[in-house]
Structures are given as structure tokens and as C-alpha cells.
Amino acid sequence: MVTFFVVLAAILAVLITIILRAYFNQVIPEGLPTDQHQKLRIFGIVIKAMGTVAYTASRLGIGDLINNLRRIQMALGRLQKVPEETSLQIEDTMIADVPVRVYRPKQIRGDATKLTGVVFLHGGGWIFGSIDMNHGYTQNLAKSAGVVVVSVRYRLAPENPFPAAFDDCCAVVKTLLDAGDNYGIDADHIVIAGSSAGGTLAAAVALHLRNEKKTLAGQVKLDIINFKNRENDIPGTGILSCICAGYLCFKMAVSLFANKLF
């Protein structure tokens, strides 16, 4: 019995040491607000734990590393209860053979017959993430801004290496520019936006369309937006700023799978 407790204490001591090292060795991106430092360190530990669990499971013959990480991410996402917004019509559909989720306000403000369209591209290092993970944010955007949000479920690497994700996003935007009326969108007022890796895709699509002489109303990269509004919390969002979470997701994706993105 004494030996058991000694071994248990030794294991706990090792785990505590690993956690403390991960906490204090976390690299803080330059310019990150000081009130985000502790959250980044804690989230960094979570990211490392996810990687360890996923890797261990794969070595034991339970799935593969990438899909194990995706399952863990989705399980964590389900812990956040996002109330459905009754003022929106939410539909999962296809645009240009690409799966999308469309958030459309049921009531149109003023005399407008069509609304501004926002094509939203989720983050996740081009390997992780989904429209479900951003569901709370995208439905709040549609409600608060009074716009039609089209959240794109683009293909992920490494199963679908570059330029698959770019092609999907570009196809959706081009279709909306040509036939936005079919979705209640004013084709002259389409904005493309994205978080982290999605922001990079948004920039790439905007540049591509510029070269084709097609015009967008705007392009936004959302990495500097804090998902936790101190005065009015947005349902379904986390405690970290987008730049904080995006930095860690991108770091993990590149460190583990850089050779599988292209």
C-alpha cells in the first residue's frame, strides 16, 4: 500500500511539473494585451493536453492523430450551450457544391428588399475548425448587424491540400456575386471575413477577385476582435481573444502538420 501511494505521488509530481513548465514556457506573442497573458498560458496547456491525448490514442490504435484532435475540439465546443436565435432563419445548404450555413434575419430593417452579405470563413490552421465551432458568433453577427451571413464549410487539409479550401471559398463568393438575389443578398454589398486561417483565405480570395476585376464591398480579418465582450457577452463564444486562440491553433497546426498543408 505504501508503495502504491509513493508511485501515485511520483506520477502526480511529474504531471504537476509538466503543467507548470507548459504554463511558464508558453511564448507570449508580442503586442498581446496583458489581460490575455494568463488565458493564453492556460489555453496553451489545454492545447498541449489535446495533442498528448490525441497522440496517445493514435498510438493505441484508436483513430489517427488529426481526427482525434478534431473529435476533442468538437467535444469541447459542445460544452458551450448556444441558444438558437429565433429572429433568424438558419439553413444548411449548398452553394457552388460547397456546404454552407446561411443566417438570414426574418425581419428586414427599413425599406430594403435585399441585405448586405457577409461570407464568413472559420479559423483552425486549415486543418481544424468548422462552421459549428463559430455558430454562436456567426448567428450573433447576423442578428446584431442585420446582414445575411454565409458560413462556409470549406475542405480541410491534409485530406484536401491547398488549393482546395481556397477553391471552395472562391466558388461561394463568385456565386453570390453573380446570383446573390437568390439568397436575399445585395450582390453590390458583399463582404468576405474570416478568423485566423479563415482571415488568410478571405484575403487570398479578395486579391484573386481583384485580379479578375470583380468588386467586393469589403474584406475583414477578425484576429484582433475579442470574443469576450466585457459589457455584453456574446452567446457561444469563448474566454480568449481571437488572436490568442488563433495563434495557438495555427502554431499547433504548423508544428504538427506543416508538410501536409500543401
Tell me the C-alpha to C-alpha distance, in Å, between residue 86 and each of 132, 143, 218, 233, 243: 17, 10, 28, 18, 30
27-86: pLDDT as tens digits: 776 776 777 777 777 777 777 778 788 888 888 888 888 888 888 888 877 777 778 888
Return the DSSP state at 116: E
Q: Which residues of 114-152 are buried (b: 16+ CB within 10 A; e: fewer)?
A: bbbbbbbbbbbbbbbbbbbbbbbbbbbbbbeebbbbbbb
pLDDT of residue 226: 36
User: Phi first, then psi: what are they for 106, rounded to 5°?
Assistant: -75, -30
195-238: pLDDT as tens digits: 888 988 998 999 999 888 877 765 555 543 333 444 444 444 44
pLDDT of 148 strictly over 70: yes
pLDDT of residue 214: 77
Query: At 149, is the pLDDT very low, low, confident or very high (cuts 50, 70, 90)?
Result: very high
233-256: pLDDT as tens digits: 444 444 344 444 455 555 555 555
Pairwise pLDDT comparison (8 vs 99), residue with the higher score: 99
Q: CA 91, 96, 99 angle in degrees (round to 5)?
A: 40
CATH classification code of 88-240: 3.40.50.1820
Reduced to 3 states, what is the DSSP secondary structure of residue 168? helix
pLDDT of residue 96: 96
**What are the CB-based long-range contacts (under 8 Å, 24+) for 179-186?**
180/114, 180/117, 181/114, 183/95, 183/102, 183/104, 183/117, 183/148, 183/150, 184/104, 184/114, 184/115, 184/148, 185/114, 185/115, 185/116, 185/117, 185/148, 185/150, 186/112, 186/114, 186/115, 186/116, 186/117
**What is the spatial distance between Cα 251 and Cα 141, in angstroms, rounded to a whole number?**
27
Which grid coordinates are listed for 207?
486579391
Residues in the chain, total: 262
| Structural domain spans, the chain | 2-78, 88-240
pLDDT of 15 strictly over 90: no
| Least trusted range by pLDDT, from 92-101, 115-124, 213-222 | 213-222
pLDDT of 92 strictly over 90: yes
Give the rounded percent of residues in the chain with a pLDDT score beyond 70: 79
Neighbouring residues of 143: CB distance < 8 A, sequence distance ≥ 6: 85, 87, 88, 103, 105
Which grid coordinates are listed for 47?
492545447
Which grid coordinates are listed for 187?
450582390
